[in-house]
Structure 1
Amino acid sequence: MATYLYRIGKFAYRRKGTVLSIWLTLLVLMGVGAATLSGPTNDSFSIPGTPAQQAQDLMAERFPEAAGNDPFNSLSARFVFAAPDGQTLTDPANEAAMDAVLDRVRDIEQVEPAAKADPATPPAAGERSAALVNPVVAHDGLIEMVTQQAQQSGKPLDRALADAQALSSLSADATVGYVDVPFTGEVTDVTDELTAEIDAAAQVGRDAGLGVQLSGSAAQVQEAPGGTTELIGMAVAAVVLMITFGSLVAAGLPLISAIIGVGIGSLGITIATGFTELGSMTPTLAIMIGLAVAIDYSLFIVSRFRHELTVTDNREEAAGRAVGTAGSAVVFAGLTVIIALVALRVVGIKFLTDMGMAAGFAVFIAVLIALTFLPAMLGLFGSKVFAGRIPFVKAKDPESGSMQPGASMRYARWIARVPLVPLIGGVLLLAVLAVPTTGLKLALPSQATADPATSARQAYDLIDDGFGPGRNGPLVVVVDARDATVPAMQAFGDVVTTISEQPDVANAQVVGVNQAGDTAQILVTPASGPTDPKTVDLMQSIRDGEAGMHEQIGVNYGVTGQTALETDISDRLQDALIPYLLVVVGLAFILLTLVFRSLLVPLTATLGFLLSVAATFGATVAIFQNGWGGLVGNPQPLVSFMPIFLIGVVFGLAMDYQVFLVTRMREEYVHGASAKDAMTIGFTHGSRVVTAAALIMMSVFAAFIAEPNSFIKSIGFALAAAVFFDAFVVRMVIIPAVMALLGDKAWWLPAWLDRILPNVDIEGEKLQRELPAHALEGEETVAAR
């Protein structure tokens, strides 16, 4: 491979005009495509095959009119009214204020036509009015209706009134009420204009003295991710590059390459939105990862180019050698990242698959840019690559062959002398940091986990205080009585009775029967909130009881609702974690075995990854969930799909540093150094550039902590922490110590396996043999300028 990459590097350097023109043309075409072919992002959410989703699908099939009641994907807004202190919403002035708000709501074009109907007009026979009315009017009408029904059916009045209160949109003390407003369209149809109109309607009530808070998908301000965060990350990266190279030009080359690569990658993802549904976070995560690896990969090649200029005065030759050697490491490092990202398909969740594929595409472009665009840029600048010297910055060749005992050489020799000390110290440090992981809690983003300063969270808290915590997260049981051995209505009643006997049930009642009379919706209001473990236990207990009910009366039912959907998602992610790890680690182990021609080096690399990811989880849980240090104003459970995504990304990035650092050790070992000397020399050659690369990647990721989106914020921190733990503790403390302890055994490979494995020559040994004689002998050594 090194030989082919060597030829590519020389070709790109020599034909710089052609190569640069191709990339710039591609960037322009991608821009045109993004402007003309892109579509909207879609944050709708479903996981086919889960029990809750199956119940949701059954409800949509049997109750077509309720098909838009999906708690994740329906477009609606909830107006929550709170009476001023010492007053109730039944006061005439407060009723009038709520009516004024609803009058303003009816003027919004996207409100469902049925909701705009005149509430004074009686509904058709057999139909229930969908017109918007204030909570006081709705409550009075509900009480009147259930009282009449109780008298006609003989149902105890107190039970009927209790059921009515469980459905009422007015709290028992009449201080809190709410109105749910349905909108036409999907969650992707939310615009700034719509949210502004909703807020303007709420402001009418606020001006009249009411407390009015908003929640629901239509009322959420759509935060545009990205922007200044990338600029912050690149600014820090520029500083690190200038210190590394001591040159403005050399520092700019990786940044230019990264901008072109990320531009093409992000525009390609934008084009893809016109052909498939992608979430709004997908491009942001792809940019985050693509930007970090693009700068790092270019850094490694420019650094190697600088080193090669110390052994040859032929700049085209130096570019070829840099791409042939460091470029080989870039290819395999990029492959490990791509494998980890694309393997997210194993999870079987579309939005994770999309994020993995998009980020993998960005990494692929970053690799191609580093191998072709960058050497073309080196050719464009020629002898001016290291021009623009920065005063007071003495940047030595980070891969200098000089063995004068600098700090990195002394450190590596110390590790070689007492390897057990850094090994045990590093492992203990990461183990201690991992301790908070034992308290890891997961949840999907919701009003319950929103910032208390937001209107959505305040609306949630008002409902919790006024109606009880269960009103924010009721369970819906969809009962199919087609094969029931008793009349359907009796079957529905039996299910309600059985559920009502469960602990933690505040209320259970039939709230809808389809036209065929064979399917019912049972609304179960828990006594606990949607994120409370008691509610999860109740949901599971109801599900467990289905087999008995089927055996007794022949009914089938499913449980859906926010808690059920979130629990099923978490279970799906947990079930997929082991298969995902097996696929990722297995494929990467094979790849690393090819790279290092060793079994123990890939094994120790994988174990080191496990340590770094455990410490990362511990630090993230401590800060974002437990609120340590007061760095997060609203500590909450981590997003449920964060662990599996983080594991995939961190594994790929961890292998980056393993490849870049340990390949230099193997290069020395292959060229005749002893195992300990190879470790020492390889570490000395690679540590400074790996340090710079890690600092750059950390700065890019850490900049995303400033994002308003909670998932982006936490994943930015977690990735930055993971890079720190893996690069500076695992790869620069633990791995060198292990290599020193293992000695020659580190490079052991069974003879039979050595015969069948292809030799990818990542160290460039074959390249060194095939280089022209004039490139190896008698060339004047020149200092990089």
Structure 2
Amino acid sequence: MARYLYALGRFAARRRWWVLGIWIVLLAATVTVSITSGGKLNNDFTVPGTESQDVVTVLNEKLPAQGGASTQVVFATHGSAKVTDPDVMAAIAGTVTAFKGVPQVAEVIDPYQAKTIAPDGQVALSGVQYTAQAGQVEESTLDALRAAARTAEQAGVEVEYGGAVYPGLQMTIPESPEIFGLLAAFLILLITFGALVAAGLPIVTALIGVAIGVTGITALAALVDVPTVATSLALMLGLSCGIDYALFILSRHRNNLMQRMPIEESIGVALGTAGSAVVFAAVTVIVALCGLAVVGIPFLTVMGLTAAGAVLIAMLVALTLLPALLGFAGHTVTRFLPTPLRPGHNEKVARTAAIAPRYTGGHAWGRFVTRFRVPLLIGGVVLLGVAAMPVATMEFGLPSGGSLPTSSTARRAYDLISHSFGPGYNGPLIAVIDTSHATPDAVQTIAMGIQGELDVATVVPAAQANDTVLLQIIPGSGPNDSETASLVQAIRDHRESIEGSTGATFLIGGATAANIDTSQRLGDALPLFLAVVVGLAMVLLTLAFRTILVPITSIIGFVGSVFAALGIQVAVFQWGWGADLLGVVPGETLSFLPIIVLAIIFGLSSDYQIFVVSRIKEEHTGTGDARLAVENGIALSARVVTAAALIMFGVFAAFITVDNPILKPLAFTLAIGVLLDAFVVRLTLIPAVMAVIGNRIWYHPKWFDRYVPDFDVEGNQLVTTGR
């Protein structure tokens, strides 16, 4: 593979105008298709094969007016005013009437007819049922709903919204995280390279790759349902991986130039060595993200595939566009910025790293690790173990109004409902009863049976059509409380006894039940996905390094860093440690967060494993001394891996500032995971283990040479067999 990449690098540098032109045309094409396709992202988290999804199917067939998404509308008065005052009643009634004329609205609940008036008379609860599912409710419909509420607002009534969809649900992700992430990356690159052009090239290539990836996702949304968070995830990974991949190749190219290698030759060698590691690293991330499909949840599959597409584009850009731009740049990548206080410092640091790495800080760290390998191993394992301890208390859920900041209308609606009616009104369950073969008292019997379950506040009829009856079940606890999940399970477990001899059958669903089913499905899939990821790691790393022990140590380190990151996430987002500082509303762990973090951290940890260990193996091939190889390998890789990890951390950390209940915990966990994996595991624990095991770390059975292909990740063939 090294020789093919070497040839590709030389070709891209030689035909740089053609390569640049192709990427510009591709960018223009994806932007054009994105604009003209009309693709829209959504938050439709459906889970086929669950009882709650079966309920949606039955409702669409039997009670289509109840089959769509819904919005809770809360009318509230303050001071001495009551929602039962004549003028307030008239304003609310006028608003309810106006709601009925909004497009896609199937039904509107009148709070006065439904008697959903709070005991203190200051809150009235209405509801709007749509003809479409959450992902298909138009933004114009929600805008019209907000406009219709002006009648009540002009009468001094506070109007707040919650439910599956509501005005303001489509939270626009600000551009500031990308800007802050890019600024942090540029600053790190500037410090690392000490040259303006060298610092700017990875940013330029990453931006081009991200632009193609994100616009491609928007175009794809015209054909399939794409969750809103998929774009942000692809953006984070596209930026961080794109910059990192370019950083690794550019760093090798600069070292080659400072060793007086011709430009075109230097580009080819950089691609044949660092580029080989980039290919393996990117493929590992892509395979891990595609592995999300084994969970069997459509929105998670789409998130994984779109993120994998962004990483694939980042890899292709690094392997083709970057060499072309390096051809244009020539020797300007070694044109260092002046340092008045320390003249020549940038150039001295760069040349030392390229020509005499044994005098660098990286080599000093390598000597420290090999000398104190046992204490560092013990300390690192203890650190990861302590950080991982909160995982034992992890509780899964999906965001509700209570997960949002008080600046959100859904949070204000959630608080008003909880205070005035009880937390269960924020997440009602529904029972769909088939009465086609039922006795006359079947519905009443089932309702009484459900009412008798622990934690049921009330059961009320909601709708009826022919042989189908809909009951609304109000739990005594909130939508993300463990008691509500237990209630759903209890009703389903006691189904036969509740149905009795009535001849009727029922299903339990609703948005809250759907969230519970999703969390259950994800929790059940987690062990399978972890097994798949571990199996992939063994295969890919065995192919990369042609040894057994290196993949085993890598997997153990990966599991340690992932569980430590998840533990810290639990401490912050569930226990509330530092929650005020980060603007976090403590609650539950996002149910699909562990699986996504497993996939991404697995891929990124393999990145750093390949970049560090490939340099150690390269040194071991030349010296045959395991401990010296560790020291020299870290000396050659520590600076660039440190920069790459800090860039990755900076990009992820920038998204923590976004008030999004999905994006914030995801970005936080990934940022912590990258730091732990790069600095604690890859630059400390793995080298320490390799120093302890010695030359045996590279052991492989004799049949490896016959059956396991040699992909030459280190690019040794470029040296030993010529180019």
Given the two structures, how large is their TM-score scaled by the length of structure 1?
Answer: 0.87
Q: Answer yes or no: is the 8 Å Cα contact 1:187–1:218 preserved in 2.
A: no
- Find the counterpart in structure 1 of residue 28 from structure 2: 28
- Find the counterpart in structure 2 of residue 328 from structure 1: 276
The number of residue pairs the alignment matches comes to 714
- Find the counterpart in structure 1 of residue 103 from structure 2: 110
> Shift of residue 483 of structure 1?
4.8
> Shift of residue 45 of structure 1?
2.5
> Shift of residue 490 of structure 1?
2.5
> Shift of residue 717 of structure 1?
1.4
Larger mean Cα displacement after TM superposition, 407-416 or 233-242? 407-416
User: Are positions 1:569 and 2:518 aligned together?
Assistant: yes
User: Are positions 1:694 and 2:658 aligned together?
Assistant: no
> Shift of residue 96 of structure 1?
3.0
| Alpha carbons of structure 1 residues 60 and 38: separation in structure 2 relative to 1, 3 Å | closer
1:693-723 CA deviation, whole Å, 9 max, x = no partner?
Answer: 1111111111111223221122111111111
> Shift of residue 105 of structure 1?
4.5
- Find the counterpart in structure 2 of residue 720 from structure 1: 671
| Alpha carbons of structure 1 residues 482 and 200: separation in structure 2 relative to 1, 3 Å | closer
- Find the counterpart in structure 1 of residue 210 from structure 2: 262
| Alpha carbons of structure 1 residues 534 and 499: separation in structure 2 relative to 1, 3 Å | same
> Shift of residue 551 of structure 1?
6.6
Cα distance in 1, alignment partners of residues 447 and 484 from structure 2? 17
> Shift of residue 458 of structure 1?
1.7
- Find the counterpart in structure 2 of residue 174 from structure 1: 121
Cα distance in 2, alignment partners of residues 396 and 694 from structure 1? 19
**Matched ranges for 1:411-430 at <5 A:** 411-430=365-384
Q: Identity of aligned pairs, percent? A: 41
User: Are positions 1:275 and 2:223 aligned together?
Assistant: yes
Cα distance in 1, alignment partners of residues 568 and 92 from structure 2? 47
- Find the counterpart in structure 1 of residue 82 from structure 2: 88
Cα distance in 2, alignment partners of residues 468 and 765 from structure 1? 68
Q: Answer yes or no: is the 8 Å Cα contact 1:52–1:568 preserved in 2.
A: yes
User: Are positions 1:309 and 2:257 aligned together?
Assistant: yes
Structure 2: which amino acid aligns with 1:171? A
| Alpha carbons of structure 1 residues 88 and 628: separation in structure 2 relative to 1, 3 Å | same
> Shift of residue 172 of structure 1?
3.6
Larger Rg over CA atoms:
1
- Secondary structure of residue in 1 paired with 2:91: helix
Aligned residue among 493, 496, 502 for 1:547: 496
Consecutive unaligned residues in structure 2, runs of 5 or more? none
**Matched ranges for 1:519-598 at <5 A:** 519-549=468-498, 552-598=501-547
Cα distance in 2, alignment partners of residues 533 and 716 from structure 1? 25
Q: Answer yes or no: is the 8 Å Cα contact 2:446–2:499 preserved in 1.
A: no
Q: Answer yes or no: is the 8 Å Cα contact 2:546–2:704 preserved in 1.
A: no
- Find the counterpart in structure 2 of residue 143 from structure 1: none
> Shift of residue 15 of structure 1?
1.6
> Shift of residue 649 of structure 1?
0.6
Structure 1: which amino acid aligns with 2:528? P
- Find the counterpart in structure 2 of residue 410 from structure 1: 364
Structure 2: which amino acid aligns with 1:755? R
Cα distance in 2, alignment partners of residues 398 and 186 from structure 1? 62
Aligned residue among 188, 191, 196 for 1:248: 196
- Find the counterpart in structure 1 of residue 430 from structure 2: 476
> Shift of residue 553 of structure 1?
4.5
User: Are positions 1:457 and 2:411 aligned together?
Assistant: yes
Structure 2: which amino acid aligns with 1:51? E
| Alpha carbons of structure 1 residues 582 and 706: separation in structure 2 relative to 1, 3 Å | same
- Find the counterpart in structure 2 of residue 294 from structure 1: 242
| Alpha carbons of structure 1 residues 231 and 175: separation in structure 2 relative to 1, 3 Å | closer
Cα distance in 2, alignment partners of residues 566 and 188 from structure 1? 15
- Find the counterpart in structure 2 of residue 434 from structure 1: 388
| Alpha carbons of structure 1 residues 542 and 570: separation in structure 2 relative to 1, 3 Å | same
- Find the counterpart in structure 1 of residue 695 from structure 2: 744
Aligned residue among 63, 68, 78 for 2:72: 78
Cα distance in 2, alignment partners of residues 514 and 608 from structure 1? 58
- Find the counterpart in structure 2 of residue 229 from structure 1: 177
| Alpha carbons of structure 1 residues 562 and 192: separation in structure 2 relative to 1, 3 Å | closer
- Find the counterpart in structure 2 of residue 40 from structure 1: 40
Cα distance in 2, alignment partners of residues 27 and 299 from structure 1? 22
1:416-453 CA deviation, whole Å, 9 max, x = no partner?
Answer: 12211111111111111222222222211121322233
Structure 1: which amino acid aligns with 2:225? E
Cα distance in 2, alignment partners of residues 365 and 218 from structure 1? 35
1:535-555 CA deviation, whole Å, 9 max, x = no partner?
Answer: 222221111112345674444
1:173-222 CA deviation, whole Å, 9 max, x = no partner?
Answer: 43321222345655456666655554454454344333332224132252
Cα distance in 2, alignment partners of residues 261 and 749 from structure 1? 38
Q: Answer yes or no: is the 8 Å Cα contact 1:423–1:737 preserved in 2.
A: yes
- Find the counterpart in structure 2 of residue 378 from structure 1: 326
Larger mean Cα displacement after TM superposition, 192-201 or 225-234? 192-201
CA RMSD of aligned residues (A): 2.2
- Secondary structure of residue in 2 paired with 1:24: helix
Larger mean Cα displacement after TM superposition, 394-403 or 243-252? 394-403
- Secondary structure of residue in 2 paired with 1:671: helix
- Secondary structure of residue in 2 paired with 1:218: coil
Structure 2: which amino acid aligns with 1:701? F
Q: Answer yes or no: is the 8 Å Cα contact 2:82–2:88 preserved in 1.
A: yes
Structure 2: which amino acid aligns with 1:717? F
Structure 1: which amino acid aligns with 2:122? T
User: Are positions 1:5 and 2:2 aligned together?
Assistant: no
Cα distance in 1, alignment partners of residues 86 and 37 from structure 2? 54
> Shift of residue 319 of structure 1?
0.9
1:635-654 CA deviation, whole Å, 9 max, x = no partner?
Answer: 22122111111111111011
Cα distance in 2, alignment partners of residues 763 and 313 from structure 1? 18
> Shift of residue 88 of structure 1?
3.0
Q: Which stretches of structure 1, 4 residues or longer, exceed 6 Å deviation after superposition?
A: none
User: Are positions 1:467 and 2:421 aligned together?
Assistant: yes
1:59-116 CA deviation, whole Å, 9 max, x = no partner?
Answer: 3322233222xxxxx1x4433122333443222232233235446546x64263x76x
User: Are positions 1:601 and 2:601 aligned together?
Assistant: no
1:475-523 CA deviation, whole Å, 9 max, x = no partner?
Answer: 2122234455xx2x223232223222222222234444431x3x32232
> Shift of residue 403 of structure 1?
4.8
Consecutive unaligned residues in structure 1, runs of 5 or more? 69-73, 116-129, 140-167, 773-785
- Find the counterpart in structure 2 of residue 345 from structure 1: 293
- Find the counterpart in structure 2 of residue 639 from structure 1: 590
Cα distance in 1, alignment partners of residues 126 and 331 from structure 2? 71
